[in-house]
Amino acid sequence: MGYSSSLTDKEWEIIEPLLPKKKRTKPPTWSKREILDGVLYQLKNGCNWCDLPSYLPPYSTVFWHYKQWREEGIIDNIRDILHEQVREQVKKKPKWTTLIIIDSQAVKNTCNASLETKGFCFYKSTNGIKRHLAVDTLGFPFFTHCTKASVSDDQGLIEMLSDNIDYFKSKPVNIPKITILLDNGYHPEKLEEELKKIYPQIMTKIKFKLSPKPSKAQKEKEGILALFQSKQGGS
How confident is the prediction along the chain (235 residues), in pLDDT tens digits per residue?
A: 578 889 999 999 999 999 988 766 677 889 999 999 999 999 888 888 999 999 899 999 999 999 999 999 999 889 889 888 888 888 888 888 889 999 998 887 765 555 566 677 767 677 788 889 999 888 888 899 999 888 899 999 999 999 999 999 998 888 889 999 999 889 999 999 999 999 999 999 999 999 877 666 665 555 544 444 443 443 3
Are residue 174 and residue 110 in the same domain, yes or no?
yes
Q: What CA–CA distance (Å, rounded) separates 95 from 190?
A: 28
Are residue 205 and residue 107 in the same domain, yes or no?
yes
pLDDT (tens digit per residue) in 115-174:
566 677 767 677 788 889 999 888 888 899 999 888 899 999 999 999 999 999 998 888
Instruction: Report the pLDDT value the prediction gives residue 111, as an integer from 0 to 100.
Output: 58
Q: Does residue 216 fall inside a structural domain?
A: no
Are residue 54 and residue 112 in the same domain, yes or no?
no
Q: Does residue 150 fall inside a structural domain?
A: yes
Question: Could you give the C-alpha distances from 171 to 37, 75, 165, in angstroms and in order?
Answer: 35, 23, 10
Are residue 67 and residue 157 in the same domain, yes or no?
no
Residue 150 amino acid letter: S
Q: Does residue 227 fall inside a structural domain?
A: no
Are residue 190 and residue 108 in the same domain, yes or no?
yes
Quickly count: other Cβ atoms within 10 Å of residue 206's Cβ.
18
Write the CB contacts of 168 (distance below 8 Å, at least 6 apart in sequence): 161, 178, 199, 202, 205, 206
Instruction: Report the pLDDT value the prediction gives residue 224, as an integer from 0 to 100.
Output: 45
Q: What CA–CA distance (Å, rounded) separates 197 from 195?
A: 5
Q: Which domain holds residue 173?
A: 96-210
Dihedral (Cα; 183, 209, 164, 191), 10-degree rounding: -80
Q: Does residue 224 fall inside a structural domain?
A: no
Instruction: Report the pLDDT value the prediction gives residue 227, as an integer from 0 to 100.
Output: 42
Are residue 141 and residue 108 in the same domain, yes or no?
yes
Q: Does residue 100 fall inside a structural domain?
A: yes
- Per DSSP, helices labelled H in the chain are 9-15, 32-45, 59-71, 74-89, 153-163, 165-169, 188-198, 216-232
Instruction: Report the pLDDT value the prediction gives residue 16, as an integer from 0 to 100.
Output: 93
Instruction: Report the pLDDT value the prediction gives residue 112, as an integer from 0 to 100.
Output: 57
Instruction: Report the pLDDT value the prediction gives residue 1, as an integer from 0 to 100.
Output: 59
Are residue 55 and residue 137 in the same domain, yes or no?
no
Are residue 69 and residue 104 in the same domain, yes or no?
no
Q: Does residue 86 fall inside a structural domain?
A: no
Instruction: Report the pLDDT value the prediction gives residue 226, as an integer from 0 to 100.
Output: 47
Are residue 204 and residue 134 in the same domain, yes or no?
yes
Q: What is the CATH number of the domain that holds 110?
A: 3.30.420
Identify whether the C-beta of residue 69 lies closer than 8 Å to the C-beta of residue 17: no
Question: Could you give the C-alpha distances from 168 to 91, 99, 208, in angstroms and in order?
Answer: 22, 13, 14
Are residue 113 and residue 40 in the same domain, yes or no?
no
How many structural domains does the chain have? Answer: 2
Are residue 141 and residue 195 in the same domain, yes or no?
yes
Are residue 195 and residue 111 in the same domain, yes or no?
yes
Q: Does residue 104 fall inside a structural domain?
A: yes
Instruction: Report the pLDDT value the prediction gives residue 154, as an integer from 0 to 100.
Output: 94
Q: Does residue 204 fall inside a structural domain?
A: yes
